Structure 1
Amino acid sequence: MAAQVLHPAQAAPAASATNIAEQLDDQERRKYVKGKKLGSGQYADVFSAHLVSDPTQLVAIKKIKVGPEVQEWGISHDSLREIKFLQELSHPNIIRLYSVFSTKNQNLNLVLEQLPQGDLLKLIQDTNNINYNASDIKAWMGMLCRAIWFCHQNFVLHRDIKPNNLLIAANGEVKLADFGLARSFADPHAPMTYNTITKWYRPPELYYQANFYSGAVDIWSVGCVFAELVQRWPFLYSNPDGDLAMIAKICEQVGTPTEDNWPGVSKLRGYVPVAKQDINPVKKRVDWETNFSTVGPAGADLLMNMFALDPRKRPTAAQILEHHYWTSDPRPSRLEDLPRQGGGLDTMGEDLKRRGGELPNTRGDKVARKIDFGSMIG
Structure 2
Amino acid sequence: MTEPEILLREQGSLGRITLNRPKALNSLTLGMVREMMRAVQQWRTAEHVQAILIDGAGERGLCAGGDVRALHDAAKAGDESLPATFWSEEYQLNSALARYPKPVIGIMDGICMGGGVGITAHGSHRVVTERSKIGMPEVGIGFVPDVGGTYLLSRTPGELGTHLALTGASIGGADALHCGLADHYVDSGNLAELVEALAGGEVDDVLRKFAAPVPAAPLAAQQEWIDAAYSAGTVEEILRRLRERPEEAARETAELITRLSPTALKVTLRSLRSDFDSLEQALTQEFRVSMACVRIGDFVEGVRAALVDKDRNPQWSPSQLSDVDESRVEKFFAPIAGEPNLV
Task: Return the structure number with greater helix share.
Answer: 2
Which has the higher Rg, Structure 1 or Structure 2?
Answer: 1
Q: TM-score, normalised by structure 1?
A: 0.32
Q: TM-score, normalised by structure 2?
A: 0.34
